[in-house]
Amino acid sequence: MGGFSGKFLEVDLSKGTSSEQSFDEEVYKKYLGGLGLGARYLYKEHSDNEDLDALGPENTLGFVPGLLNGVDLPLCGRMSVVSKSPLTHTWGDCNVGGFFGTELKEAGYDAIFIKGVSDNPVYLDISDEGSQILDASELWGKDTQKTKRAIEEKEEKGEDVKVASIGPSGEKESLISSIIFGDNRAAARSGLGAVMGSKNLKAVAVKGNKSNQVEIENQNRFNEAKEEVLERLSKEPSRFVKLMRKLIQPIMPWLLRRGVLGSADKGTVIKMFKDQGTAMATAMSTEMGDAPCKNWKASGPEVFPYKEALEIGGENIIQYQYKDYACATCVIGCGGRVSVEQEPFKVEEAKKPEYETLASFGSMSLNNDVESIIKCNEVCDKYGLDTISTGSAVAFAIECFEEGIISKEDLGGMELTWGNEDAIVELTEMIAERKGIGDVLADGVKEAAKEIGDGAEKYAMHVHGQEVPMHDPRLNPSFATAYVADPTPARHTKGGAGHLEFGMTPNSFKEIEVSDKSKNKGKEKAKEKVRGEVHAESVKVQVLLDSLGICFFLGYLGNFPFLKALNAVNDWELTRKDILETGERIQTTRQAYNIREGLKRSDFSLPDRIKGKPPLEKGPTKDVTLDVDKMVGEYYTAMGWNDEGVPTKKKLKELSLKDVASELHQN
Q: Which amino acid is at 454?
A: D
Please give the share of the chain, as a percent, with pLDDT higher than 70: 91
Q: Sorting pLDDT into bands at 50, 70 and 90, what band is 2?
A: confident
Q: Are 576 and 511 in contact (CB under 8 A)?
A: yes
Q: What are phi and psi of 598, to 5 degrees?
A: 90, 10
Amino acid 17: pLDDT: 97
Distance CA 282, CA 358 (A): 7
In which region does residue 642 sit, left (phi positive, over 0), alpha (psi from -120 to 50) or beta (all else)?
Answer: beta
Q: Sorting pLDDT into bands at 50, 70 and 90, what band is 557?
A: confident
* DSSP 3-state of 367: coil
pTM score of the predicted model: 0.94
Amino acid 417: pLDDT: 97
Question: Over the stretch 103-156, which tens digit does the pLDDT of each residue have?
Answer: 999 999 999 999 999 999 999 999 988 899 999 999 999 999 999 999 999 877
Mean pLDDT, all residues of the chain: 91
Distance CA 388, CA 455 (A): 23
Distance CA 125, CA 103 (A): 12
Q: Are 294 and 303 in contact (CB under 8 A)?
A: yes
Amino acid 213: pLDDT: 80
Question: Over the stretch 284-301, which tens digit does the pLDDT of each residue have?
Answer: 999 999 999 999 999 988
Q: State the sign of the Cα–Cα–Cα–Cα dihedral 625, 629, 632, 637.
A: negative
In this structure, of 46-60, 551-565, 578-592, the range with the lowest mean pLDDT score is 551-565
Amino acid 48: pLDDT: 83
Amino acid 422: pLDDT: 98
Q: Are 281 and 308 in contact (CB under 8 A)?
A: no
Name the nearest CA neighbour of 229 among 568, 558, 569: 558
Q: How far apart are the first and last CA of the chain?
A: 40
Q: Are 454 and 402 in contact (CB under 8 A)?
A: no
- The residues near 398 (Cβ < 8 Å, ≥ 6 apart) are 295, 365, 416, 417, 418
Question: Mind listing the domains of the chain with CATH numbers?
Answer: 7-212 (3.60.9.10), 256-467 (1.10.569.10), 478-664 (1.10.599.10)
In which element (H, E) is residue 487 found?
none
Over range 656-665, report the average pLDDT: 93
Please list, residue by residue across 420-432, b when 16 or more beta carbons sit within 10 angstroms of its beta carbon and e when fewer do. bbebbbbbbebbb
DSSP class of residue 550 equals -
